[in-house]
Amino acid sequence: MISKRKNILKIAIDSPAAAGAGTQAKLISKHYNLMQLDTGRCYRYIANIKLTNPSKYNYRFIKKKINKLNIKDLQNKKLLTDDVATIASIIAKDKKIRNLVHKFQLKCAYNPPKKYKGSCLDGRDICSVIVPDADIKFFITANIRTRAMRRFKELKSKNVDITFQEVLKSIKKRDKSDINRKISPLKKTKDSILINTSNLSIRACFLKIKKIIDRKISI
């Protein structure tokens, strides 16, 4: 049973890959002093273990690593590669692994360190599974070519040798996997506020979200 702090602000964000949710979650968290967790990085963290230490990859070892996991462990730049992302998408379908990760995510959502006024989690199943009672829920999306172009530019800025078509194909594959998986598929909940970032700058999107949050917490 996860202990829960009272009177904290809980914000949940779901989104497909490269829609800008992670960037917005960081801005929201900084502005409102919330603990921020990119939940997808938990699976990327496990995927990186599978890539770098395949001989050690088993349930008992992963359980031990997750029990000792902290936010700083998720800042490793190696977790951002496409290879890690592909494996992470597969690992996320494993029910036993998901249960391990969920415990860590629940702790971040409901019992963040006292220096924070609450939590802001973004991922694929945050509104529907992890924090269904969040104070505010957002579903952040954008058209697929816009998302692919953002990811392409991000990768090119890191000198990754890749074409736009390869990135587009990868995003389509991720979408299909996220939407069609049997356990905790990506879907917009009825009480989530839709934010389409296709034609919004990062700042314009943040201001739109901020307006919604301010209106909600002032009630």
Tokens of 85: 């992302």
pLDDT of 219: 63
DSSP assignment letter at 192: P
> Does position 2 have pLDDT exceeding 90, yes or no?
no
CA-wise closest residue to 11 among 147, 143, 116:
116
Q: Over the chain, what is the mean pLDDT?
A: 94
**143-187: per-residue pLDDT in tens?**
999 999 999 998 899 888 999 999 999 999 989 988 998 888 899
CA distances from 114 to 29, 44, 73 (A): 14, 27, 20
pTM value? Answer: 0.92
Distance from first CA to last CA of the chain, Å, rounded? 31
CA distance 40 to 104: 12
pLDDT of 135: 97
Tokens of 69: 């996991």
Cβ-contact 157, 150 below 8 angstroms: no
Tokens of 140: 């952040």
* Percent of the chain's residues with pLDDT above 90: 84
Would you list the domain boundaries of the chain?
10-203
Map residue 35 onto helix, strand or coil.
Answer: strand
> Does position 118 have pLDDT exceeding 80, yes or no?
yes
Looking at domain 10-203, its CATH architecture is 3-Layer(aba) Sandwich (3.40)
Cβ-contact 141, 196 below 8 angstroms: yes
The residues that bridge with 19 in the sheet, in sequence order, are none
Mean pLDDT confidence for 40-59: 94
* Percent of the chain's residues with pLDDT above 70: 99
